[in-house]
């Protein structure tokens, strides 16, 4: 497993950049839509994107865009997704 990870580290990094970028953009777009009273991205979708290797991007989007920061489930689950993501990365690299 470790050899596979070493051989594919750039692929893994690219996938994580894309998934975290998508999660960040989803938070940004949902914040804009909320301000304009438009159709919103469901909370379930935002949380799912956080747990599908987008935890860091979701957390950055949450705090940089000041979006969903008062919702208890986002306060708990988004940082949890980021910690899981970081833990999985460390487990792969060690």
Average pLDDT estimate for 71-87? 96
* pLDDT score for 89: 87
* Domain boundaries along the sequence of the chain: 2-34+41-93
pLDDT, one tens digit per residue, over 34-64 is: 999 999 999 999 999 999 999 999 999 999 9
Task: Please give the DSSP secondary-structure letter assigned to residue 25.
Answer: H
Measured between alpha carbons, how far is 1 from 63 in angstroms, rounded to an integer?
A: 35
Measured between alpha carbons, how far is 79 from 55 in angstroms, rounded to an integer?
A: 7
pLDDT, one tens digit per residue, over 1-42 is: 667 667 788 888 899 999 999 999 999 999 999 999 999 999
Q: What is the pTM of this model?
A: 0.88
């Amino acid at each position: 497993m470790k050899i596979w990870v070493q051989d594919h580290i750039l692929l893994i990094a690219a996938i994580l950049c894309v998934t975290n970028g998508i999660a960040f953009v989803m938070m940004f777009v949902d914040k804009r839509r909320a301000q304009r009273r438009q159709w919103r991205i469901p909370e379930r979708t935002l949380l799912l994107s956080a747990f599908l290797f987008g935890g860091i991007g979701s957390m950055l989007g949450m705090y940089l865009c000041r979006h969903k920061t008062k919702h208890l489930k986002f306060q708990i689950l988004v940082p949890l997704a980021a910690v899981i993501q970081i833990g999985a990365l460390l487990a792969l690299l060690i």
